[in-house]
Structure 1
Amino acid sequence: MKVAICGAGITGLALAHRLAARDIEVVVLERAPRPREQGYMIDFFGPGYDAVEEMGLLPEVENVAYRVDEASLLDEHGRRRAAIDYVQFAKSVRGRLCSIMRPDLERVLRETLPSTVDVRFGAGVTEFEDLGDRVRVTSADGEVLEADLLVGADGIHSTVRRLVFGDEDRFLRYLGFHTAAFVFEDEAIRDQVGERFCLTDTIGRQMGFYGLRDGKLAAFAVHRATDPALPADARDALRANYGSLGWAVPRALDLCPPAEEVYYDQVAQVEMPSWSRGRVVLVGDACYAVSLLAGQGASLGITGAFVLAEQLTRASSIENAFAEYEKLVRPVVTEKQHVARRGARWFLPANRLLLQARRIFLRVAKLPGLERPLAAAVTGKSTALVTNLRQGTEVGRPMS
């Protein structure tokens, strides 16, 4: 079997890893000319953590993880108003948690790929044809290749989804926020932040900072926006929306890099009635983006990749593999999407009353015995999907 994967991000690379481990031929087509450096810190836990452990990559992932003592919410003068204790949070997920930059997780997956995997940058999919027993794909570099199936792992603005299923407006559910991330240098702010994730305790908009190993700082921002359309210039938008926040924010905005080095996007979910058609299947944000409000996008992307790879080696046909993959993963991501929408008001309070309610919530969360139920209210139900799959039927040989 030969599989063409569109997208060399976290999900696509995880899928390539798992398929190659099953002796399946894999080619990965990536639109970007090189690996992306833009991204933000994530708390990596849940079924994706289990999958990375099963893939034998947990030591490498933990090696590039960051120590985070707490997430501190600071007012406009830099005074601590509330906090999330990361030791408590880690206990709520039995210690199976690490904080990691998305580009670092992607790099671990890319650098540990088997040599048999063919990764091509600057070669995004531009045309697609389903030939019944195989697919024909044309990439941006002009090459035409054929494979047994095509996987769209190319993110929330998926090209494969557009080519096969139609315009993204049919599937994107805008949640009313814009988000941004960038890296900058400032020794004074770095010293203030220490081993914390420092966020402004503000209404309708929020900027946060955390220190990186090279002495730099990563900034993360999110604000309410009624219009999903993205601005022409990310830096101008950041100044307009965050310039008056106080504390270290104005200084960080002065040091913001050029717009092309800023990650900027809308906060949205993807909802689709079906994740596959013919010999094409979608995985990760391309078909079930949960949004950063759920905090588990990377974990669920890896989970979907793991389950899809397993089903392709177990099922009697590609169609059955696609169906079983969706049957197993859809309930998990649907619940996470619901949790994200429910928690939007808590994530970014729209008024002072909700802001005060969040402060009270975080104080209560520190009481003994409340770690797990309160964490569940934020992260949703735990799932043993990967563990159950691993303990199931012996994996067979790949379909020919």
Structure 2
Amino acid sequence: MRAAVIGAGMAGLASARQLALAGWEVDVLERADGPRADGYMMDFFGLGFDAAERMGLLPRLRDAAYRIGAVEYVDAKRGKRTASIDYDQFASALDGRLLSLMRPDLELVLLDALGDAPEGSVRVHYGARFAEEDGAEHPEEVARLLEGADVVIGADGIHSSVRASLFGDESQYLRPLGLRAAAYVIDGAPELHAEYDGRFVLTDTIDRQAGIYSLRDGRVAAFLAYREDAAGQPPAGEDAPTRLRRVFGGLWEPIDRLLDRCPPHPYDDVVAQVVLPRWHRGSTVLAGDACQAVSLLAGQGASLAIAGAELLTSLIGPCTDAAAIESAMVEYERRWRPVVEEKQAAGRRAAGTFLPPDRWHLLMRRWALRGSSLPVVKTIVMRSIAGGTGLKGTTGV
């Protein structure tokens, strides 16, 4: 049996590995020229943590993880700490099953894990656009790989071209939450790296939030979130670096230094969810953010990508004909959709409080975070941040 996986992100690479271990031949088609170098820090826990443990990936993920003692909130004008989240308490609320990972590092772990499959069973084709995309290179080769596949898995992200080819324009299925998020990493800032080594610092601000943290290789990372209406009506042709400098310039002096070094093409995208009435058609099925984007506010995008991919491939892996594959896809949706809907609901709730719209909401968040040091409040707050662990018996593996 052969599979074509569109997208070499978390869901795509996890799907490719698991199918190859089940005896399939797999081609992964990725539009980028190589693994992504930029990204943001993620909390990895919940169903994805459980799936990674079953897949035998935890040792490699632990090696790639960062040790974060606390997330600090600071007054952007004075630089004084206003509140913090103790990550040891967060981890304790999750029974220690929490890792802090940079998105590119998680991708590299999954890419390396393809080597666990039989030699030659997985082939990753970088610079290969999905045949339906404008400007697709080598369309004949891509078409050949797709036509010869028993299953096509569309794991090409929130702006999925595979989804568009199946169900139409993304405007029908993308649900923006009124926010945007940006992230990038810079080299050559030793003074910033030293100042924020071992620290993850966020501004305690209204409508906008800027974060800064140091990486182990000497680089410094920026995380920026803002309300779309806070950006105002952008001038025609405004690029992402210019927009970020306009929105965040003057907010906080360390961020001004990072903005001066913003690369030409930072990650900068809408915070949104994907809501679809169905996730498959014919021999093609969607995975990861292409069908189940919960938004980064829910905090479990990467976790759900891996857990969903494990479930999907556990069902498809034993199949030997089209009828069995169709049944597997139906079962995947039946078992996984309730989990996604639960996490999306949590993400929508978080969207209302993630960026305080006024000083009153800012103070409420600050007091809640300060109160999280109390034993009873701590458990409630940390469980709320975690968003629950999902439905029991979902994966069934």
TM-score (structure 1 length as normaliser): 0.90
Q: Which of 173, 183, 205 is equivalent to 1:181?
A: 183
Distance in 2 (CA, whole Å) between partners of 1:33 and 1:94 is 39
Kept in 2: contact 1:29–1:139 (CA 8 A) = no
Q: State the match for 2:273 in structure 1.
A: 269
Whichever residue aligns with residue 224 of structure 1, its letter is R
Return the offset for 1:343: 1.4
Distance in 1 (CA, whole Å) between partners of 2:394 and 2:330 is 20
Distance in 2 (CA, whole Å) between partners of 1:377 and 1:141 is 47
Distance in 2 (CA, whole Å) between partners of 1:206 and 1:4 is 39
Whichever residue aligns with residue 244 of structure 1, its letter is G
- CA distance 1:50–1:21, shift in 2 (3 Å): same
Alignment length (residue pairs): 379
Question: 5 Å matches for 1:290-329?
Answer: 290-313=294-317, 317-329=324-336
SS at match of 1:235: helix
Return the offset for 1:375: 2.1
Whichever residue aligns with residue 281 of structure 2, its letter is R
Question: 5 Å matches for 1:51-70?
Answer: 51-70=51-70
Question: 5 Å matches for 1:214-363?
Answer: 214-226=217-229, 232-257=238-263, 259-260=264-265, 262-313=266-317, 317-363=324-370
Distance in 2 (CA, whole Å) between partners of 1:370 and 1:353 is 20
Kept in 2: contact 1:75–1:247 (CA 8 A) = no
Return the offset for 1:385: 5.0
Question: Structure 1 residue 211 and structure 2 residue 211: aligned?
Answer: no
Question: 5 Å matches for 1:1-400?
Answer: 1-76=1-76, 77-113=78-114, 114=117, 115=119, 116-127=121-132, 140-142=137-139, 143=141, 144-145=144-145, 146-184=148-186, 185-226=188-229, 232-257=238-263, 259-260=264-265, 262-313=266-317, 317-383=324-390, 389-390=396-397
SS at match of 1:42: strand
Kept in 2: contact 1:174–1:228 (CA 8 A) = no
Return the offset for 1:200: 0.6
Structure 1 unmatched runs, 5+: 129-137, 391-400
Distance in 2 (CA, whole Å) between partners of 1:55 and 1:282 is 21
Distance in 1 (CA, whole Å) between partners of 2:9 and 2:166 is 20
Larger mean CA deviation between 181-190 and 142-151 belongs to 181-190
Structure with bigger helix share is: 2
Return the offset for 1:386: 7.0
CA RMSD in angstroms comes to 2.0
Q: Identity over aligned residues, as a percent?
A: 48
Distance in 1 (CA, whole Å) between partners of 2:297 and 2:270 is 12
SS at match of 2:376: coil
Kept in 2: contact 1:6–1:154 (CA 8 A) = yes
Kept in 2: contact 1:78–1:247 (CA 8 A) = no
Q: State the match for 1:132 in structure 2.
A: none
1:46-89: CA deviations, max 9, x gaps?
11111111111110111011110100001122110000000000
Kept in 2: contact 1:303–1:386 (CA 8 A) = no
Kept in 1: contact 2:22–2:318 (CA 8 A) = no
Kept in 2: contact 1:31–1:124 (CA 8 A) = yes
